[in-house]
Amino acid sequence: MSEYNQILYPTHVHSETHPDTLARTAVLFGMDPPPVQQCRVLEIACGDGGNIIPMGFELPNSEFVGIDSASIPIQHAQRVIERCGIKNVTVQALDLMEFGRDFGTFDYIIAHGIYSWVPETVQQRILAICRDHLSPSGVAFISFNTGPAGRIRQLTRDMMMFHLRAAGIEADPVREGREFLQTLVDLADETSIWKAVLWEETVRLSKRPDSVTYHDELGSGYSWAYFSDFAADAERSGLQFLSDATLSDAIEPPSKPEAAEALERLAQGDVIKYQQYLDFLVFRGFRRTLLCHSGIRLKRSRFPERVQTLLVASPLSKSSVEPDGGVVFTKRRASASVTTNSPIVSLALERLETDWPRAKPFAELAREIAEQVPPEQKEDVPAVLAQGLLKLAANKLVDLRTHQGPLAASVEERPMATSLARLQAEATNLIATLLHTQVEISDPQSRRLLQLIDGTRDLGALVSAMMPEQGVSRDDTETNVRAALEAFRGMGLLVST
Ligand SMILES: C[S@@+](CC[C@H](N)C(=O)[O-])C[C@H]1O[C@@H](n2cnc3c(N)ncnc32)[C@H](O)[C@@H]1O
């Protein structure tokens, strides 16, 4: 019986796996990827559906197929699909080794969190599925543990496994393993590098749920690969490295100019070598790699030109102006902020602020900004804006998209959250949004309101339903409901009907 049936592995949204994120990157690299609003998506190892099910709401005219060899998480996913009445997502208990031709082709294939935990034959099969079932201009996402940092993780795993075996421990292996590592940290020489390494590992493990640590660190399989070896395997399978899913690696050189120069010198124009040296430099332990078919001619420069074909959305709010005129923008619901001295970028961010969470076509934004700048700057607007927005996107401060999702532009007369968000709000604080993110809503009253917004109730009905038994006036309740609905809209929880 699968280990994943015995101890359940909780899955959740991974924004970097979303077809629109894959398509956006493909566009930046000069591809013409399949339109995400009508595509077919395969998720290998979908588990209990935490990543694939929300996608069904985000792209209602696309088709999603999930497979996983563990039947219990799949049954859980099937129950959610049924309760939410989702028609465009199907999941199936199936070992990927049995994946047959009859599944047809997919425009986007996702294999997250499986490659490094299965034997080599299964890894080869994942690559073969991508080769055989990916449409000609499709994109595959495969994540895996990488050297050099993946090797450290292997060391701590080996030590914990040794201890569990040697001490004959069967009950609560995660707690025992963690405590053992902590003992080593406590006893190690204060000044040793080893103590620092072990400490980092204990911190990493302390942030994860026990069930995740059980499978990721103490499960029956674990491996890591150097990126260059993975890329060579992919190439032998007829696939090529497109980019990392994280835009910064592909587009933003390392912040130290001398590091960027050194990497260029070491790689001598070879993309794979560049990425491998980068992993050495940043001590990377995990990659989210995008692949496409070999033979596609990718464009690895002049990215700003292609930004101009995309849509842009910004979660930034203008917060202050510095004495030198720099404008500070802060990211909603996050501690990140950015200061820009470019009037063009600043004007664009102000415009996008009111549209969030919806996106605006770049061309439309550039036209609007051109009307606001002095005549001699008009011509520069597209290039300056594209360069500025690309940099912000690489730092995860704005979104570049290929498609406008079904996001409400305003709080509608009868607001509606997805049936999935309403179902999640019954049982958990963590709610999937239409932006393929997950938000935490810990206030029980807000979660109760979320459950009520099913498109049948107007503001008056919602206020009546939310009136506390005593102590709060109807006016105050209405103010709270309005604020909560607006907050839900900003989180990407309201559907455009
Ligand atoms: C670590 S979990 C990752 C789940 C999810 N993709 C995520 O990243 O959150 C690994 C998943 O791979 C599945 N799996 C392992 N071997 C498999 C195989 N041969 N065929 C299909 N699924 C497999 C397991 O059942 C498990 O659900």
pLDDT tens-place string over residues 412-422: 999 999 999 99
- pLDDT value of residue 468: 83
Return the ligand 1 atom nearest residue 10 CA.
9
Question: 142 forms bridges with which residues in the sheet?
Answer: 111, 289
The whole-angstrom separation of Cα 49 and Cα 162 is 34
Atom of ligand 1 nearest to the CA of 118: 16
The pLDDT assigned to 471 comes to 82
**pLDDT, position 235:** 98
User: How remote is the CA of residue 198 from the centroid of ligand 1, in Å?
Assistant: 28
* Distance of CA 141 from the midpoint of ligand 1 (Å): 14
Mean pLDDT score of the chain, rounded to an integer?
95
Q: 146 near 72, Cβ under 8 Å?
A: no
68 lines ligand 1 (CB under 6 A): yes
- Measured in Å, residue 47 CA sits from the centre of ligand 1 at 6
pLDDT, one tens digit per residue, over 147-200 is: 999 999 999 999 999 999 999 988 899 999 999 999 999 999 999 999 999 999
DSSP for 428-448 reads -SEEE-TTS-EEE---HHHHH
Q: Which residue out of 53, 69, 125 has the highest number of ligand 1 atoms within 8 Å of its CB and is therefore the one to mutate?
A: 69
Report the pLDDT value the prediction gives residue 253, as an integer from 0 to 100.
72
Ligand 1 atom nearest the C-alpha of 2 is 25
CA–centroid distance, residue 200 to ligand 1 (Å): 26
The amino acid at residue 139 is V
Of 5, 68, 112, 430, the one to substitute when testing ligand 1's pocket (max ligand atoms within 8 A of C-beta) is: 68
Ligand 1 centre and the CA of 456: distance in Å?
A: 38
Closest approach atom of ligand 1 to CA 143: 8
Pocket flag, ligand 1, residue 2 (CB < 6 Å): yes
Distance of CA 74 from the midpoint of ligand 1 (Å) = 11
Query: What DSSP letter does each residue of 155-200 carry, written as one string?
Result: HHHHHHHHHHHHTT--SSHHHHHHHHHHHHHHHS-TT-HHHHHHHH
Task: State in Å: Cα 45 to ligand 1 middle.
Answer: 4
For residue 77 and ligand 1, the question of a CB distance below 6 A is answered with: no
- E strands, 211-285, where? 239-244
Quote the crossing angle between the two packed helices 227-236 and 271-282, to the nearest 10°. Answer: 150
* Measured distance CA(33)–CA(86) in Å, rounded: 25
Tokens of 200: 């980092």
Q: Which atom of ligand 1 is nearest to the CA of 3?
A: 25
Q: Say how many Å lie between the CA of residue 150 and the centre of ligand 1.
A: 19
Residue pair 119/148 in contact (Cβ under 8 Å)? The answer is no
Low-confidence ranges of the chain (pLDDT < 70): 1
Indicate if ligand 1 lies below 6 Å from the C-beta of 66. no
| Cβ(9) – ligand 1 distance below 6 Å | yes
The amino acid that residue 3 corresponds to is E
What distance in angstroms lies between residue 426's CA and the mean position of ligand 1's atoms? 27
For a pocket test of ligand 1, which of 1, 2, 3, 4 has the largest count of ligand atoms closer than 8 A to its C-beta?
4
Q: Which atom in ligand 1 lies closest to the alpha carbon of residue 70?
A: 25
Does the beta carbon of 112 lie inside 6 Å of ligand 1? Answer: yes
Nearest protein CA to atom 11 of ligand 1, as residue: 45
